[in-house]
Amino acid sequence: MKRKILTYFIYVIVAATLATMMMMAVISSRMFETQVVESMRYEAEALRALIEAGGEARLDEIGSDVRVTIIDAQGDVRYDNEADPAKMESHAQRPEVIAALETGVGEDVRNSQTVSRNTFYYALRLSDGSVLRMAREASNIWSIYMRAAPLIALLLALLIGVCVFSASLLTERLIEPIEQMTAHLNNVSGVARYPELEPFMTMIQKQHEEILRSADMRVEFTANVSHELKTPLTSISGYAELIENGMACGEQVSRFAGEIRKSANRLLTLINDIIRLSQLDSPEQKLHTEPVNLAQVAQAVAEQLRMSAEKMQVSIRLDTRPVVISADRGMMEELIYNLCDNAIRYNVRGGSVCIDVHPARDRAIVCVQDTGIGISREHQEHIFERFYRVDKSRSKATGGTGLGLAIVKHIAAKHNATIAVDSELGRGTSISVSFERLTHA
């Protein structure tokens, strides 16, 4: 990156320096041309006054570095201070002569065939109808540049060198905060900053913190998975070993087999929940959205859990009104199922679960309320974490995996829904999920 920025700087500096030198040369040339024309105009005015006062004979008395020519109205040369007029061709078609005869003043720049020099021409019409023309070499400015070419090249090289050195320092200054931040991602408080870099540094720091947090969560999740899988596997292995060694007989074999089946079912449930969480975490997991009536989903879930609730001596009550959202139907069933399953598992004998579905302006609310054990305030912000259990002994007794509410959280996030928890220890829990309502359905 540093080399690329420095290379771009060098390209810009060299291009700008060369363009500046060329522009200066062009401006200098035009200024020189203007100066030459002005000088010739003043001299021509003075010579015209001299000629009209004393005749052409007075011209030989004046020494001048300017070529002076007098052309009659027919274009024939009457006088020239650098060539023999008799040997000179007609000047009737010369642009400056034509312009002077027509308007009184004419000028031109061209390569003179007579003296083989790039020359400025300036012409004035005299009172007798003839034309006074003056000529001066116009290539002097380029000759000066050619003679000064070595010095100009040296100055150009020095200028480019200074600019490249400055660009290198500037590049270092630009990159320095990024390099410092790279070396101190965990603590960027001492890193030199400038306003333009603030959004970038803030974004990088947030991403770094998210990566660290994600890594910590993965480590914790792996440890939790290992522990959770180990428990039922140990139980299965222990009971199987007792049966294998003949230490169980009669009714014990049947009881141990039942315990093995329970542990196996718990293991399968745990593995399914882990796989489901991995699927929800994956960016490739896509939503198959369609209009979903949450009231219908809630009724279907209530029927599925009716038998489970009866075993726990918990009643399920529905209070639903039709409300439609755009969602993945399978995920909505999963979300409401997990909320209700949790409400049943952590309830009390003779308790109840109320599933409330209703519209609220532009939102659709799903609220599952139970009369169970409740959650203390310090635990409420953690209940959606993976494997987090308020009452671990009760979770294992009821077969909970500690992943149900984590799945609920992921599904809600994928549907841009918000979750609210209202609970009091010993008096039950209410969990509400708010979705954007599909009003035109």
At 432 the pLDDT is 94
The pLDDT tens digits for 23-81 are: 777 777 677 777 777 888 888 888 888 777 766 666 666 656 788 888 888 888 888 88
What is the β-pairing status of strands 289-293 and 315-320? unpaired
* Nearest residue to 354 via CA among 304, 400, 320, 404: 320
Average pLDDT (250-259) is: 80
Continuous H helices in 245-327: 251-281, 294-304, 306-311
At 151 the pLDDT is 73
The pLDDT tens digits for 21-33 are: 777 777 776 777 7
Residue type (1 letter), 151 = L
Q: What is the dihedral of CA 393, 397, 398, 403, to 10 degrees?
A: 50
* Nearest residue to 55 via CA among 132, 136, 123: 132
DSSP conformational letter for 131: E
The pLDDT tens digits for 318-344 are: 999 999 999 999 899 999 999 999 899
pTM of the model: 0.52
User: How many alpha carbons fall within 13 Å on the CB side of residue 232?
Assistant: 22
Of all residues in the chain, what percent carry a pLDDT higher than 70?
Answer: 79
* Nearest residue to 373 via CA among 424, 317, 419, 420: 424
Report the chain's mean pLDDT, rounded to a whole number.
79
The answer to whether residue 169 scores a pLDDT higher than 80 is: no
Report the greatest alpha carbon distance in the chain. 154
At 115 the pLDDT is 45
The answer to whether residue 114 scores a pLDDT higher than 60 is: no
